[in-house]
Structure 1
Amino acid sequence: MLEFFQNLSPVMQALTATIFTWGMTALGAAIVFATKTVHQKLLDSMLGFAGGVMIAASYWSLLGPSIEASTDNAVGPWFPALVGFLLGGGFLWIIDKILPHLHPNAEKKQAEGLAADKRKRSTLLVLAITIHNIPEGLAVGIAFGALANHSTEAALAGAITLAIGIGIQNFPEGVAVAMPLRGQGMSRMKSFMYGQFSGFVEPIAAVIGALAVAHIEPLLPYALSFAAGAMIFVVAEEVIPSSQENGNRDLATISLMIGFALMMVLDVALG
């Protein structure tokens, strides 16, 4: 796998990696072809698992490297990480207030964003997961874009590991969109199409992130922490609450711990 990626430019590496993560979203959505319902406990455990992966990736793949890349910063190595992290969270907060969306498991009346009450439930669900995927795509793109100036086998392995982790947690996100739609009577094909479409934004965000850091090297530590802040906002504001609001708190929490541990091991062992 390393040899394959080494023959590509950083932008093409990011695009290839996020096509994989998009494919994992589609794979999760494809569950609708096998069944009409997924047990709520399973769905909540998958959401918890996804949250754990995102939290671990935010530190080991993003915040940690941001601090390491800032050792020469005049204020301190913590400064770019702090600024980028808060800007990333603020960016997602603004999108959350503007873009109409509906969290998984929520009632239509709980939809958020501008003119949310005028949108179809299916559209709102897709937009909710799309919000998730913006920082995920950026994170993968930034990790590969950094290779334009600091290309080593370890750095490449770390970027690939991040993409694998994001792909793993995209599977339950595809399920979280497609299965509720199927349960409400939507056809299998339409439920699948809505579910997989939520991952389409990842390759776009990845290319933007890769181009930005590949051509503006001083931006790298800020971009890494920006993606981390955006991901943590999504986890805290949506993923964890959605996984626990149906009474399966212990199961969701244990699943989050497992997801965190798996991503930690992948990143440390492979990256």
Structure 2
Amino acid sequence: MMNDIIAYLESIDPILAALYATLFTWGVTALGASLVFFFKKMNRALFDGMLGFTGGVMVAASFWSLLAPGIEMSPGEGFIKVMPAAIGFFLGALFIFGLDKILPHLHVNFKMDEKEGIKTPWHKSVLLTLAITLHNIPEGLAIGVLFGGVAAGFDGATIGGAVALAIGIGLQNFPEGFAVAMPLRGQGLSRWKSFNYGQLSAAVEPIAAVLGAWAVMTFQPILPYALAFAAGAMIFVVVEEVIPESQRDKFTDISTMGFIGGFILMMTLDVALG
């Protein structure tokens, strides 16, 4: 089954392949958000564990799927070889840092007076959705960049690796959809509205993926920078948002073990399929 999927994605346009992969990750987000139809409230221990899992997947993907291939395909030796990754990583973190300061959003588990970005009268539902959307921009970009790299024929970029990344990001999108929908349900929104806000947070992934694949195919020398850019953006999100969100209650050990589990799973997927 997996071999058939990889073979099919190899046979089609890479931009279309990136789109299909991120439609899958969007669908898994919607699946996580759909839990709002079956549960009235959120189990905090489970929730923190899933947040930790999300962080583990993102950190492992940043290294195994993005940084390591980016360094491998860079020309030169020593400091020269690692410079594209270092520059791209910094620019990716700086990009999300800028969005974090401008885009109004509210992290899960945070109170309204802790919202970030420019001041706005927007409702909590919108702010929570935008916070998770911020997570999903680098995730979609990473998938698109990898598919574009495969089309450009770069060593270290494989369809198997791109599929592994899409699967890993899809799995960690499940708790992200849940993370938006359930708190909104707790705030009094209907199940349908809570679900719609939850799944909407991943709508940006296909857009980012298509742009990433197109950019790499059009400007091939940027691939090592682009891979590291996505990695830097993801690591910024993990350190600035995901980990603090998962450590605000008494279930810190559960969230930490969730992180370890997510890291192991993503590492295994990348090595096995990539």
Q: Which bracket does the TM-score occupy, shorter chain normalised?
A: over 0.9
Q: Contact 1:157–1:270 (CA<8 Å) still a contact in 2? A: yes
Deviates more, 1:124-133 or 1:35-44: 35-44
Note if contact 1:147-1:214 (Cα within 8 Å) is conserved in structure 2.
no
1:60 is paired with a residue of what secondary structure? Answer: helix
Instruction: Please give the alpha-carbon distance, in whole angstroms, between the structure 1 residues aligned to 2:157 and 2:126.
Output: 40
1:253 and 1:191 mapped to 2: Cα distance? Answer: 27
The change in CA–CA distance for 1:149 and 1:74 in structure 2 (over 3 A counts) is: farther
Q: Which residue of 2 aligns with 1:175?
A: 178
Counterparts of 1:192 and 1:104, CA distance in 2: 15
Q: Please tell me whether residue 67 in structure 1 is matched to residue 71 in structure 2.
A: yes
Selected match of 2:217 from 214, 219, 240: 214
For 1:261, the aligned partner's letter is I
Is the contact made by 2:6 and 2:159 (CA closer than 8 Å) also made in structure 1?
A: yes
**2:88 paired with 1:101:** no
Cα contact 1:213–1:220 (8 A) shared by 2:
yes
- Equivalent in the alignment of 2:255: 252
Identify the match of residue 195 of structure 1 among 198, 203, 228: 198
Paired position in structure 1 for 2:130:
127
State whether structure 2 residue 89 is matched by structure 1 residue 91: no
Indicate if the aligned counterparts of 1:52 and 1:256 stay in contact, CA closer than 8 A: yes
Superposed displacement of residue 73, structure 1: 6.9
Contact 2:69–2:156 (Cα < 8 Å) also in 1: no
- In structure 1, the residue matched to 2:56 is 52
User: Percent of pairs identical after alignment?
Assistant: 58
Tell me which residue corresponds to 1:2. Answer: 6
- Name the CA distance, whole Å, in 1 between partners of 2:192 and 2:155: 43
2: CA distance between counterparts of 1:61 and 1:85?
Answer: 13
Q: Secondary structure at the match of 1:182?
A: helix
Q: Cα distance, 1:83 vs. partner?
A: 0.1
- Paired with 1:3 and 1:152, the residues of 2 have a C-alpha distance of 18
Q: Deviations over 1:90-144 (max 9, x none)?
A: 000000000000000110110000014x111000000000000000000000010
State the distance in 2 between where 1:235 and 1:15 align: 24
Partner of 1:81: 85
Superposition deviation, residue 6 in structure 1: 1.8
Within the candidate set 17, 34, 48, 1:13 is matched to: 17
Report the alpha carbon displacement of residue 74 of structure 1 after superposing the two structures with TM: 9.2
- Mapping 1:94-173, distance limit 5 Å: 94-116=98-120, 118-150=121-153, 155-173=158-176
Alpha carbons 2:73, 2:154 under 8 Å: kept: no
Total equivalences in the alignment? 270
Change in Cα spacing, 1:205 to 1:73, as seen in structure 2 (3 Å) is farther
Q: Tell me the SS of whatever aligns to 1:77.
A: helix
Aligned structure 1 segments of 4 or more residues deviating by more than 6 angstroms: 151-154
- Which residue identity does 1:269 align to in structure 2? A
TM-score, normalization by structure 1: 0.97
Q: How far, CA to CA, are the matches of 1:153 and 1:14 in structure 2? A: 17
SS in 2 for 1:55: helix
Alpha-carbon shift at residue 72 of structure 1 (Å): 3.0
Alpha-carbon deviation of 1:154? 7.4
Using structure 2 for the length normalisation, give the TM-score: 0.96
Query: What is the CA–CA distance in structure 1 between the aligned matches of 2:156 and 2:69, rounded to whole Å?
Result: 15
What's the offset of the Cα at 1:27? 0.4
Say if 1:154 and 1:112 are closer, same or farther in 2 by CA, change over 3 A. Answer: closer
Q: Which runs of 5+ in 1 are unaligned?
A: none
**Structure 2 residue aligned with 1:26, among 10, 27, 30?**
30
* Counterpart-to-counterpart distance in 2, 1:152 and 1:5: 18
Q: Distance in 2 between matches of 1:219 and 1:153?
A: 15
Counterpart amino acid of 1:106?
F
Give the counterpart letter for 1:34 in structure 2.
F
C-alpha RMSD of matched pairs (Å):
1.4
Q: Any unmatched runs of 5+ in structure 2?
A: none
